[in-house]
Structure 1
């Protein structure tokens, strides 16, 4: 089982965003996440500006028993820079905001 840890959490244009990190075989791996507020259609997910976006239900941090939908994507190489990952998360956040149902 891979254990992801939040490396950075922020709000972009009113939407919760995160970068998470894990180490697999001593190599760091990253992923970006954006919270979905009202729902996202399959078509909107397919047209996301990042590669291979996936839905993820995560528990609310402060509300026990409450879950929220997030969209996450893997970031294959930290060599591209974390600033590039942050920009990809911002692009996804804008896409989610425009396409939510």
Structure 2
């Protein structure tokens, strides 16, 4: 089982964003996540500015029993620095804001 840890959490243009990190042996993997508030169509998911986007339901941190939809994508060290990943997450947050149902 891979254990992901939140490395950074912020709000960008009204969207909750996160960068999570996991390490296996000497390899570090990251993923970027953006919270979806009202829903995202399959077409909007396919038209996102990042590849490999997936939906996931995560528990709401402050309301027990509540779940929220998030979209996420994987990022490796070879693709660039974490600052580049943050820019990609911000771009995804803008896309989600504009494409929500």
Quickly name the TM-score band, shorter chain normalised: over 0.9
For 1:12, the equivalent position in structure 2 comes to 12
> How far apart are the structure 1 equivalents of 2:94 and 2:12?
9
TM-score normalized with structure 2 length: 0.96
Contact 1:34 1:89 in 2 (8 A): yes
Q: Deviation string for 1:13-57 (max 9, x for gaps)?
A: 111000000012321110000000000000000011001000010
Contact 1:29 1:78 in 2 (8 A): no
TM-score normalized with structure 1 length: 0.96
Unaligned runs of 5+ in 2: none
Unaligned runs of 5+ in 1: none
For 2:64, the equivalent position in structure 1 comes to 64
For 1:33, the equivalent position in structure 2 comes to 33
Q: Deviation string for 1:50-93 (max 9, x for gaps)?
A: 01000010000011000000000001226611110000000000
Contact 1:30 1:78 in 2 (8 A): no
Quick check: 75-84 or 14-23, which moved more?
75-84
- Are 2:95 and 1:95 equivalent residues in the alignment? yes
For 2:47, the equivalent position in structure 1 comes to 47
> How far apart are the structure 2 equivalents of 1:99 and 1:13?
14
Number of matched pairs: 101
RMSD: 1.0
